[in-house]
Amino acid sequence: MFKKLCIFILCICTITGCSKEQPSLVVKEGDKEIICTDIVSTLNSVTFPAVVRSSGSKPVETEYKGIELTELFNSIDITISNYEKVVFNAYDGYRIILTTEEISEPSNVYLVFERDGEILKSKKEGGTGPFQIVIRRDPFSQRWIKHVFEIILE
Ligand SMILES: Nc1nc2c(c(=O)[nH]1)N[C@H]1C(S)=C(S)[C@@H](COP(=O)(O)O)O[C@H]1N2
Ligand SMILES: [Mo]
């Protein structure tokens, strides 16, 4: 009976996706690699408004949910003031570099995973996620790197 119940719950979880793995991200500091796996569930997330400018469409007002990048660094004991710049790499080969100064500005650089209440889809699923960097003081969004998977401190 118990075994049947377990199998039943497992099936429901698989179908509804509640057992879906959380996306991960790697942070590199020297020759150390930190794999961040439960960013979405464990860190302090915030929502904020932004205007999205995607080529070929009109600007749209949206709400993003994510964590301030400095929070992520704090959570893995990285002191960014020890570094000059941070490199972000995306699955499609896109790369951006931010100064640590820019990242340290309050309420500026966020690692987002939700837009208007919906989890960001991967590139394969036609989205901009699973993670995207949003820089609130970069209104033209060229540096809002989509599909980011690697962050390197230099
Ligand atoms: N991974 C990735 N992020 C990216 C880009 C890209 O090609 N790949 N393009 C950038 C540019 S130039 C802009 S304007 C915004 C919006 O891109 P979109 O016009 O393709 O929506 O995303 C930025 N982030
Ligand atoms: Mo662009």
Read off the amino acid at residue 20.
K
Measured in whole angstroms, the distance separating CA 117 from the mean position of its chain's CA atoms is: 15
- With vertex at residue 45, the alpha carbon angle to CA 44 and CA 48, rounded to the nearest 5 degrees, is 140
For residue 52 the two structure tokens come to: 């999205």
Which alpha helices (DSSP H) does 17-127 contain, by range? 39-42, 69-75, 100-104
Confidence at residue 4, expressed as pLDDT on a 0 to 100 scale: 75
Strands 32-36 and 46-52: unpaired
C-beta 40 within 6 A of ligand 1: no
Q: How many percent of the chain have pLDDT more than 90?
A: 85
With contact defined as beta carbons under 8 Å apart, do 28 and 150 qualify? yes
Q: Closest Cα partner for 64 from 129, 151, 150, 9?
A: 129
pLDDT digits (tens, 9 = 90+) for 45-86: 999 999 999 999 999 999 999 999 999 999 999 999 999 999
Confidence at residue 1, expressed as pLDDT on a 0 to 100 scale: 73
Read off the amino acid at residue 62.
T
- Is 70 exceeded by the pLDDT of residue 8? no
CA-nearest residue for atom 1, ligand 1, is 146
Measured in whole angstroms, the distance separating CA 116 from the mean position of its chain's CA atoms is: 15
**H-run or E-run covering 40:** helix 39-42
How many helices (H) and strands (E) the chain has is answered by 4, 10
Q: Closest Cα partner for 131 from 17, 22, 19?
A: 22
pLDDT digits (tens, 9 = 90+) for 94-122: 999 999 999 999 999 999 999 999 999 99
C-beta 115 within 6 A of ligand 1: no
C-beta 90 within 6 A of ligand 1: yes
Give me ligand 2 centre to Cα 145, in Å: 11
How far, in Å, CA of 42 to CA of 38, rounded?
6
In the block, which residue shows the tokens 């998977």?
Answer: 149
CA-nearest residue for atom 21, ligand 1, is 54
